[in-house]
Chains A and B, each alone.
Chain A
Amino acid sequence: NAGVMQNPRHLVRRRGQEARLRCSPMKGHSHVYWYRQLPEEGLKFMVYLQKENIIDESGMPKERFSAEFPKEGPSILRIQQVVRGDSAAYFCASEGARSYGYTFGSGTRLTVV
């Protein structure tokens, strides 16, 4: 079991470009969560998805951010028209059953220049 796989590990985008971050959950896990860690800040919940469904997106900024978890393939966090304030580490976590806790990926570090 390769664990939660995130790619790319590092991503550099110019202001105004789009950023696409991918997450493949652990085998057998159908719940995916995205978190953002800003410099000197704690991890903040962004969105919770199951296959083909957004369950809770209460932590997502209202504009430019979207997430999906299609029937086939990884979950995608998409940031349109990136700004410098989007620079952060974005972590994905998956969960099989509540009693076993979360497993996190290694994160994608986004730098907007």
Chain B
Amino acid sequence: KQEVTQIPAALSVPEGENLVLNCSFTDSAIYNLQWFRQDPGKGLTSLLLIQSSQREQTSGRLNASLDKSSGRSTLYIAASQPGDSATYLCAVINGDGGGADGLTFGKGTHLIIQP
């Protein structure tokens, strides 16, 4: 059974710092990995999607990497801003993508950027 772990559970840093959020998964046979952002009381916003054949994806100040063999992904946020404060969720899709596999989520990293 796939398990996804996110470290740290919570993080508070001053504005302007670069930071790294970590995600690990137990079964390396994933189809893809998706990072989401969730604001309090809101839904999930997709940030980056990495296919299993890819090593990284970038969008603006965000960079996500994937090391499938070691079961790890990182989300790098450059020059953090107070608006980046949210819970960041890592999720994987298992298998070859052709079956009825849903996403397996980590519990998230609660990020606070201090002005």
Query: Within residues 22 to 54 of chain B, which ones have a CB less than 8 A from any CB in chain A?
Result: 31-32, 34, 36, 41-46, 49, 51
A24 to chain B, nearest CB (A): 14
For the side of the interface on B, what is the size category? 20 to 34
A42 touches B (CB below 8 Å)? yes
A65 touches B (CB below 8 Å)? no
Complex alpha-carbon distance, A55 and B21, angstroms? 33
A69 touches B (CB below 8 Å)? no
A72 touches B (CB below 8 Å)? no
Query: Within residues 51 to 75 of chain B, which ones have a CB less than 8 A from any CB in chain A?
Result: 51
**How many A-B pairs with Cβ below 8 Å?**
62
**Are the C-beta atoms of A101 and B46 separated by less than 8 Å?**
yes
**Are the C-beta atoms of A42 and B105 separated by less than 8 Å?**
yes
Give B43's nearest chain A residue, CB to CB.
A106
Main secondary structure of the interface of A (DSSP, over half): strand
Query: Within residues 78 to 113 of chain A, which ones have a CB less than 8 A from any CB in chain B?
Result: 91, 93, 98-107, 109
Contacts of A6 in B (CB 8 A): 43
**Are the C-beta atoms of A104 and B43 separated by less than 8 Å?**
yes
**Are the C-beta atoms of B102 and A99 separated by less than 8 Å?**
no
Complex alpha-carbon distance, A73 and B107, angstroms? 32
B50 to chain A, nearest CB (A): 9
A18 touches B (CB below 8 Å)? no
B73 to chain A, nearest CB (A): 14
A8 touches B (CB below 8 Å)? no
In the assembled complex, 10 residue pairs joining A and B whose CB atoms fall closer than 8 Å, in A order, are A42-B89, A43-B89, A43-B105, A45-B104, A91-B44, A99-B32, A102-B34, A104-B44, A104-B46, A107-B42
